[in-house]
Amino acid sequence: MRPDVTTALATLEAHRAEMGHRRIVDLFEEDKQRFTKFSARLDDLLFDYSKHAINETTLAHLLTLARAADVEGKRAALFSGAHVNNTEDRAAHHMALRDMSGNATMIDGHNVTGEIGRVRKAFLNFAMQVRDGSIRGARGAPFADVVNIGIGGSDLGPAMAARALSPFRGSGPRVHFVSNVDGADLADTLKTLNPATTLFIISSKTFTTQETMKNAQSARMYIVKQLGEKAVPDHFAAVSTKLDLVAKFGIRKERVFGFWDWVGGRYSIWSSIGLSLAITIGSAKFTEFLRGAHDVDKHFMETPLESNIPVLMALLGVWYRNVWGYGSHAVIPYDQRLGRFSAYLQQLDMESNGKSVTRDGNALTMATAPVIWGEPGTNGQHAFFQMLHQGTDVIPVDFLLAAQPTEADAQHHALLAANCFAQSEALMRGRSRAEVEEILHKAAMPAEMIAALAPHKVFSGNRPSSTILYRKLDPRALGRLIALYEHKVFVQSAIWDINAFDQWGVELGKELCSKLAPIVEDPSKPLDGLDGSTAGLIAARRALMG
């Protein structure tokens, strides 16, 4: 760790001792301008971080940490196309996919702007032809359903976004997502479909991803069985760079859309991996989705750190992860259609920053990625919010809310918004023993019952949260939300000095699965060389299989 980073963290540790005695609710009493001071805006989007255990001194110390870690220099390197993914020796320039300014984007000495535009035009044209019925199935019928088969970044992003933006589908086909190699995932989806009006998109950069290709082969068998071998080219498209493997599968070259090795899977929704989303909402709305992300790219690059929303989000996360020792972070969208947003952020954050060594390969001396989790409000209030309010662990929360609903009536949405605001206030304010006793006393409860019940009704409060408020969950707003969290993750990786763009941690499991799959499939194969537990489990499964 750089000496100036160590010093900045030590300063924050000492400052925490002071802030640990302060209550957030009292900070509001002391400063009537607190909301204004501790909130930031990007057009109609408001980031309120006033309900945090911070003051102006805290923010100054956190900004010192950011500069000590050279966040600004690393940000410039990211946007320059430098090989910030050092373990794979490549750039991480997914931002170029949503930059429609026409400015040159240089990667490895080449201007890739034209190529990005050509690929975008090709897959958006294909999407519109599927939507308007110009592209049809083998029996001449337009496609009523589209099934995206992928996993990880080839599924989580498009599936989340298609659900979030479903009100903008219009007359387009229904879009489904299959990712789990558990055959139930594909089987349950196919039950509702007519093969003659179904298009499958195989989303796999290498066209070798084990789970995806197993599902793809099963989908192919489904079409062949129902419509015949000759129907395959009419019912499949692919997002891949392996033209030979795609051709062998039976997919026409003009229905294959690629992307680049400087686009990581969890950052790929802006590329042709977004084809299923483009089919869902159409090319114009997809373009607005890209513009929203580009809005945040400009904000991230051009706005001073003091009012830079992704930077502030990241610094608050570091404050709680590394100084307070909080190991979990909840993201609670008060929007049913953002039901998969927290799951999407799990991959974005935990696969990016779930690392234990620095960029140079040295063991880290500080904690990295917290556990990211969440569900939509208000459902979560009747599940895990008990722990958020009265549990032994303090868990910072991000609340997300649109000011206007996309379809719900005004009364529903007003109640939803009231719940969101009430939960963040309750987490901050809490309820003291004295307040509880006063309430119970006014309810004419006997003194001995008050003494017994009061401890159970005390809320410690002083639990931090941020609120992101925006006008409406439309394509541009969703693009902004995703990009905010992308850049937050990057800033934290810069402070922790880790590579946010590789994911070697998923490789070992894949290798071992390839080794075990033939043994699991064939009960005659010996179990020699396996550890006792694995051998025992396989043997037990064989016995249960009969």
**pLDDT classification of 546: cutoffs 50, 70, 90:** confident
- Find the domain containing 514 and state its range: 508-545
- Please state the φ and ψ torsions of residue 332, each to the nearest 5 degrees: -120, 95
Q: Do residues 473 and 164 touch, judged by C-beta distance below 8 A?
A: yes
Which one of 110, 298, 510, 515 is the catalytic residue? 510
Q: Which residues have CB under 8 Å from 441's CB, separation 6+? A: 450
- pLDDT at position 408: 79
Q: Determine how β-strand 106-107 pairs with β-strand 256-257.
A: unpaired
- pLDDT at position 511: 92
The residue from 287, 318, 343 where one domain ends is: 287
Sheet holding 174-178, edge to edge: 174-178, 145-149, 198-203, 236-239, 256-257
How far is the C-alpha of 386 from the C-alpha of 11, rounded, in Å?
A: 34
Q: What is the mean pLDDT of residues 243-267?
A: 95
Same domain, residue pair 52 and 128? no
The predicted-structure confidence for 428-440, as pLDDT tens digits, reads as follows 999 999 999 999 9
Q: Which residues have CB under 8 Å from 398's CB, separation 6+? A: 313, 329, 330, 331, 332, 374, 465, 466, 467, 468
The answer to whether residue 56 sits within a structural domain is yes
Q: Do residues 98 and 297 touch, judged by C-beta distance below 8 A?
A: yes
Which one of 211, 288, 351, 486 is the catalytic residue? 351
The answer to whether residue 474 sits within a structural domain is yes
The two tokens of residue 401 are: 């809310």
Same domain, residue pair 450 and 473? no
How far is the C-alpha of 466 from the C-alpha of 472, rounded, in Å?
A: 18
Same domain, residue pair 530 and 382? no
Q: What is the mean pLDDT of residues 521-536?
A: 96
Same domain, residue pair 420 and 512? no
Q: Do residues 473 and 61 touch, judged by C-beta distance below 8 A?
A: no
Q: What is the mean pLDDT of residues 521-528?
A: 96
Tell me the CATH number at 282: 3.40.50.10490
Burial bucket for residue 545 (CB in 10 Å: 0-12, 13-18, 19+): exposed
Q: What is the mean pLDDT of residues 403-420?
A: 93
Q: Do residues 528 and 119 touch, judged by C-beta distance below 8 A?
A: no
Of the candidate ranges 59-68, 95-104, 320-329, 461-470, the one whose mean pLDDT is the lowest: 95-104
The answer to whether residue 297 sits within a structural domain is no
The predicted-structure confidence for 198-241, as pLDDT tens digits, reads as follows 999 999 989 999 999 999 999 999 999 999 999 999 999 999 98
- pLDDT at position 348: 97
Which one of 382, 407, 442, 521 is the catalytic residue? 382
**pLDDT classification of 2: cutoffs 50, 70, 90:** confident
The predicted-structure confidence for 147-166, as pLDDT tens digits, reads as follows 999 999 999 999 999 999 99
How far is the C-alpha of 470 from the C-alpha of 420, rounded, in Å?
A: 13
- Please indicate whether residue 61 is annotated as part of the active site: no
**pLDDT classification of 76: cutoffs 50, 70, 90:** very high
The two tokens of residue 419 are: 């719940």
Angle at 393 between CA 388 and CA 397, to 5 degrees: 45
Same domain, residue pair 179 and 309? no
Same domain, residue pair 473 and 535? no
The answer to whether residue 531 sits within a structural domain is yes
Q: Which residue has the tokens 């009537």?
A: 32
Is pLDDT at 100 greater than 90 in this prediction? no
- pLDDT at position 404: 96
- Rounded to the nearest integer, the mean pLDDT of the chain is 96
The answer to whether residue 281 sits within a structural domain is yes
The residue from 287, 314, 333 where one domain ends is: 287
- Please indicate whether residue 18 is annotated as part of the active site: no
- pLDDT at position 407: 85
The two tokens of residue 175 are: 């879009």
Angstrom CA distances, 101 to 95, 273, 286, 421, stand at: 12, 21, 16, 38
The predicted-structure confidence for 53-65, as pLDDT tens digits, reads as follows 999 999 999 999 9
How far is the C-alpha of 233 from the C-alpha of 255, rounded, in Å?
A: 9
Residue type, 176: H
Is pLDDT at 1 greater than 80 in this prediction? no
Same domain, residue pair 158 and 262? yes
Same domain, residue pair 155 and 261? yes
Q: What is the pTM of this model?
A: 0.96
The answer to whether residue 77 sits within a structural domain is no
The predicted-structure confidence for 387-410, as pLDDT tens digits, reads as follows 999 999 999 999 999 999 998 788
Alpha helix (H) ranges present in 231-360? 232-235, 243-249, 275-281, 283-302, 309-318, 341-346, 352-353
For residue 264, the SS3 value is: coil
Q: What is the mean pLDDT of residues 452-470?
A: 97
Q: Do residues 92 and 267 touch, judged by C-beta distance below 8 A?
A: yes
Is pLDDT at 497 greater than 90 in this prediction? yes
Same domain, residue pair 253 and 221? yes
Instruction: Say what percent of the chain tops pLDDT 70.
Output: 100
How far is the C-alpha of 112 from the C-alpha of 257, rounded, in Å?
A: 16
Q: Do residues 285 and 165 touch, judged by C-beta distance below 8 A?
A: yes
The answer to whether residue 73 sits within a structural domain is no
Q: Do residues 476 and 288 touch, judged by C-beta distance below 8 A?
A: yes
The answer to whether residue 529 sits within a structural domain is yes
Same domain, residue pair 534 and 515? yes
- Please indicate whether residue 351 is annotated as part of the active site: yes
* Structural domain count, the chain: 4
- pLDDT at position 3: 82
Using alpha carbons, select from 442, 397, 443, 441 the residue that is nearest to residue 423. Answer: 397
Same domain, residue pair 494 and 367? yes
Same domain, residue pair 52 and 140? no
